[in-house]
Structures are given as structure tokens and as C-alpha cells.
Structure 1
Amino acid sequence: MVPERGAPVSRYLLDKFLFTIDRDPELVERYREDPAGTVTWWEAEMANRLLSCTAPEQSTWQAFTDAERAALVGHDHVTLFEMGAHPFLTLTLFIALFERDHGPMEYQTAYARAMQHLTLPYPDITT
């Protein structure tokens, strides 16, 4: 059964976004400067691209939910984690986005502080 377009599928799409943006310095800058435009572009152009194929192939059904899109646009790593996005993917991308605006380890400390209200069991981050 294929899920309805935009229906929650898995954390795969969130993690794929975080991973692919973090691996390209130009996309990191684009996401920092224009998060809404980057999320819209990525969802339209990259979300359904099958990255492991040798020839360009695409699926047609994956899309972010409104809540996922809002968390990505808002650079909201706490909500992304609560949705099940992998914390290492958010941390590495958000360091690339925001560490330059802070002193040594200042951003990482603020990142952790924003998540200190979370208790075990944490959201499942397996994919």
C-alpha cells in the first residue's frame, strides 16, 4: 500500500534532507539564508530522487508533512528530534549553519540545553 502524498511515511525523508544539505557547502549556505525556499526547492527537486541509482530515477509520492516542513523552515532541531530525525544529522548540519555566530562550543552547548527537557525513552531514531 502506498501512503497518501504528504502522509507521515517515516523519518527517512527528514534524515535524507538533513544529510544531503549538510554534505554540500553551497546548500548549507542556501538553507541558512533562505530556509523556506531551500525546503520548497529540495522537496520538489530532491525528495523523490533515488540517490542510489546510476541513471536518474524518481519516485512520486514522498513529501513532508506540514509539521515537518515548518520545523525544517524554522531550523527547529528540538521538534525535528521529537519527530524522530537523527540527532547526529541535525547536530552536524546545525553546527555548519550556526557555529560561526557563536564562541567555541557555545552553539553545541545551546543545542544541548534546548533539548534538556527531553527524557528517556527518546524518540526512536532507527530508519
Structure 2
Amino acid sequence: MSRYLLNKFLFTVDRDPALVERYRADPGELVRWWESSMANTILNCHSGEASTWLTFTAEEREALIAHDHVRLFGLGAHPFLTLTLFIAMFERDNTEPLEYQKAYGTALAAFALPYPDITT
């Protein structure tokens, strides 16, 4: 399991509106594409350097494809990264102010201290 890779995925997808839309429309395709082409690039590095060993576990991949922020949090994904990305993807589907954010918090209410480790 790589909390770093989960958080890198959430961070990079959230910062690109085209990737946000691809993730919303076809999460399986986007996760597969991102893992094969972006997972091993080095953040904020423009020199073409890359690693070769990073990959999602099956459980991480399934949670990303399912847009399952509760499972992602349990796996160590940072809640602020999932919240900002999922707001970009799903807030437009709600009619009440902060409706998505409240549902997000309610879904995570079952977690009690100590929370899963979200350090990377």
C-alpha cells in the first residue's frame, strides 16, 4: 500500500479540470491511464526523471474506481485531498448549499480516534 501514490493521484487529478472530468465520466479508464503514465513521474519535476516501481494495490485501485472516499480514508488517503477532488466532481449534483460536504462528513463519522495514518 502506498499512501504517497494515493495522495499523488488525488492531488494531480484535482489540479487539472480535464482530468477531473475524465475521472467523473470514466473512473476505471482514468485510473488505469494515470497509473501507467503518471504514477512514476516525479512531482514538480520537469526534467523527465521518473521512478519505475510505484503501482496501486488492487484495493486502492478498486476504491479509486468506485469513488469510495471512505475506503480511501481507511487506506490512508488524506481527507482534504479526497474532499477537494470529490467536491469538484460531485458538488454540482446537489441542490442544497454544502450538501455534498455534509454527506462526506457523515460518511466518515464512523471513524473514531485514532484515525488511520495519513502521513506520507
Q: What's the TM-score once normalised by structure 1's chain length?
A: 0.91
Q: Which runs of 5+ in 2 are unaligned?
A: none
**1:41-97: per-residue Cα shift (whole Å, max 9, x none)?**
000000001123331121111000000000000000000000010000000000000
Measure the CA separation in 1 of the matches of 2:20 and 2:47. 26
- Kindly indicate whether residue 67 of structure 2 is the aligned counterpart of residue 53 of structure 1: no
Corresponding residue of 2:79: 87
Q: Identify which of 59, 74, 89 aligns with 1:67.
A: 59
- Give the match's secondary structure for 1:121: coil
Aligned-partner Cα distance in 2 for 1:54–1:80? 29
| Cross-structure match for 1:102 | 94
Q: How many residues align?
A: 119
Q: Distance in 1 between matches of 2:107 and 2:9?
A: 22
Amino acid at match of 1:126: T
Structure 1 gap ranges (5+):
1-7
Of the three residues 77, 80, 98, the one matched with 2:69 is 77
Computed over aligned residues only, the root mean square deviation of the Cα atoms, in angstroms, reads 0.8
Partner of 2:11, secondary structure, is helix
Query: Secondary structure of the equivalent of 2:110?
Result: coil
Alignment match, 2:111: 118
Cα distance in 1 for partners of 2:115, 2:46 equals: 37
